[in-house]
Each structure stands twice: as C-alpha cells, then as structure tokens.
Structure 1
C-alpha cells in the first residue's frame, strides 16, 4: 500500500486535473472570438454598414447593420457554414476542436493514473508517474497548439469575411478594416494548461522527495569502510 503522503499527492493531482477538465469543458461551450468589419455594396466606395461575426467552437452569431441593407442577427452552426467557405478555415477549425478533444482524453487518462497510484505502487509500469507525466504534458502541449492555430485562423485567414459572404450571397458586398479579438472561451484554455502543469509539478515534487529519501537511506551502506562491508 502507498504511504499517506503519496496518496494525498496523487489524489490532489487528480483533483487539480478534474478541475482543469471542467474549465476546458466550459471553455469549449463559450464564445471564442469576435470579428468586426466595415461593409458596403460591391463597387460602392461608401462603407456605411458593419458586420460582426461572433464565433464559438460549435455555434456562432452574425450581426449585420446596413450590410448590404437594413440590419439582422442570425445564429448558425460553425462547421456546416465553414463547409461553404475556404477549405483552409474549415480544416484549421476542425483541427482545433480535435486537439481540445484529445486534451480532454489525455486529462481523463491523467486522472485515472493518479487514482490508480493513490492505491498502488506501479512505478515500474506506464501506469506509474511516467504515465501521468505523459498524459498531463500532452494535455498542456496540445492546448497551447490549439490556441495558436485558432488565433491564426481568425487573424490570418479570411474566415470571417467568408462567413459574411455566405449570409449575403444574393447581394455581393465589399468588406474592409477587419478587427478580430479573442474572447473569454479562448482565454479559459490558459488556466487549463496551467492546471495540467500544476498536476505534473505536484507528482514531481513527491517523486523527487521520495527519491532523495531512498538515496539517503542507501548512503550509510555506500559510505561504510570496505573492512566492515566484508563482514
């Protein structure tokens, strides 16, 4: 049976990872970005309209004012709409969703490994600290990669402009002065990444302390005179 100290460290790691899963789950259902553009009928030099595209990972809202006529607010499902626009935007968006799904899966693996270690001592298998380090590190790395790809998708690609074109396909418009900003759903992934690293740190501190303790117990034998060791 593991010691009380080990059990507490691993249970704490499991709790921290569970909180991170909750944070990421909420983030994936929240608003991730908002893009605003000036709008005018195609060929016109008077940009007196605006279009605002609010994006989550799965749902979005487009608000148009005089773009090209009157104003309207419409909700839409992101992936079906992106299927009608540039392939690059669709691929990047799906990649972000898949990476975050893998983050959740890795975090669940980390929780299971932590719970298993709290009642057992599987140090010689992948279910030991190495398994937890691998799962939590993967979660942290993939979440950072997802943030980078999403930021590139909303700033570098023409995803927002193409979404507007889908909703005004009957009347061509010109768009300019795009202003994109990330919202709280995007920022909530950062605490998830930090918590994944905290889970690693908690186990590393315990593992390091346990290793140091074992070395201190072995040292008297290593330092004993050779004459004594002969007996």
Structure 2
C-alpha cells in the first residue's frame, strides 16, 4: 500500500484535474466571442445597418439591425454554417478537437492519479510520468486552442462568412468588425492552470521521494572514516 503522503498528493492531483475538467466542460457550453460589424447593401435602395455574431463552440446567434437584409435574430450551428469557407471551418474544427483531446488526457491523468493513490506502480506511464505527460498535453492543447480561436475570429473572414451564410445573401458589404472574447474563452485559462497545478503536486511528491531515496542509498565514501575502519 502507498504511504499516506503519496495517497494525499495523488488524490490532490486528481481533484485538481477534476476541477479543470468541470471548468472546461462548462466553458465549452458558454459564449466564446462576440463580433459586431457594420454592413451596407442594396435592398429596395441603399441601406445601412449592423450585425452582431455571438459564438459558442457549437452554436451561435446572429442579431441583425436592418442589414443584412432585414432585422431579426437567428440561431445557427457554427460548423454547418462555415462549410462554404474552408479555412475558418478547418480552424474552428481544430479548436473543438484540441479541447476534446485535452479532456481525454485530463481523464487519463485522473485515472493514473487515482491508481497511484491506492497502489505502488513502477515509474512508468502509470506512475508520476503518466500524470506529467497527460496533464502537460492537456494544458498545451488548451492553450493552442485559445490561440487558434483568436486567430480565426480576428484574422480570417469567419464572422463575415457566418453572417452571409445565415442571412442567405452575400450581396452586402461588411466592415469595421470588432471582436471581444467572452466567458467560455477565458475559462480555458483556469483549466490550463489546474492542469499545471496537478503536475506541480505530483512533482513535489516525486522530488521528495527521490531525495529520500538518495539519502537512503548514500555511497559508502560519504560515511564517516570511523565507520569505514571497521
């Protein structure tokens, strides 16, 4: 059976990762960004208006003021609405995939931590190294997902494509787009932080255990001369 100290550290790591999973799972159901843009077109004469696109990972809302081509609010699914735009669609798909894979590795980290809390496995993929690898991949992929999402919203025509697709027309000019990130996006930060915390907790135990082993296996040349004489 593992020592009480080992059990405590690995259970703490599992708890930190569980919190991370809950946070990210909640964040994936919240709004990630809101983009407002002006638009102009020709519907029974020249018209001016605005459009606001609010995005979750899977669904979105388009609010139109006069243009395009009339006012109203429309709900849509993000990926189907982006099928006509290859680059934004692929990038958004990557964001979702990165987050899903992050959750999978977080689940792996939880299982490894729980296993170590009740047993003494060898220093292999089911030992501390397993937690290091799983939680590191989770944190890294989630940060990459944040970066890709920002790039997709800010530097591609993703939001314009969504407006044209949902409104059913591209006969309008969209300009002066302004985007801001919302709650779902920022919840990735505490997810990554909790994943790193899980690594830190295990590292503290692993380092203390390594130091203790070194002290127990101290070479004979470090022994006092009086002892070596006998």
CA contact (8 A) 2:135 2:198 kept: yes
- Farther off after superposition, 215-224 or 109-118: 215-224
Q: Residues of 1 paired with 2:207 and 2:56: CA distance?
A: 42
Match of 2:138 in 1: 139
Segments ≥4 residues shifted beyond 6 Å:
none
Within-5 A mapping of 1:64-103: 64-84=64-84, 86-103=85-102
TM-score, normalised on structure 2?
Answer: 0.93
Contiguous gaps of at least 5 residues in structure 2? none
Match of 2:216 in 1: 217
CA contact (8 A) 2:88 2:152 kept: yes
The 3-state SS of whatever aligns with 2:62 is strand
Q: CA deviation at 1:121?
A: 1.4
TM-score, normalised on structure 1?
Answer: 0.93
CA contact (8 A) 1:38 1:49 kept: yes
Q: CA deviation at 1:6?
A: 0.4
Q: CA deviation at 1:230?
A: 7.8
Contiguous gaps of at least 5 residues in structure 1? none
Match of 2:187 in 1: 188
Aligned length: 230
CA distances 1:70-107 after superposition (whole Å, capped 9, x unpaired)? 410010111111113x1000000000000000000000
The 3-state SS of whatever aligns with 2:218 is helix
Q: Residues of 1 paired with 2:147 and 2:169: CA distance?
A: 34
Match of 1:177 in 2: 176
Provide the aligned C-alpha RMSD in A. 2.1
Q: CA deviation at 1:42?
A: 5.1
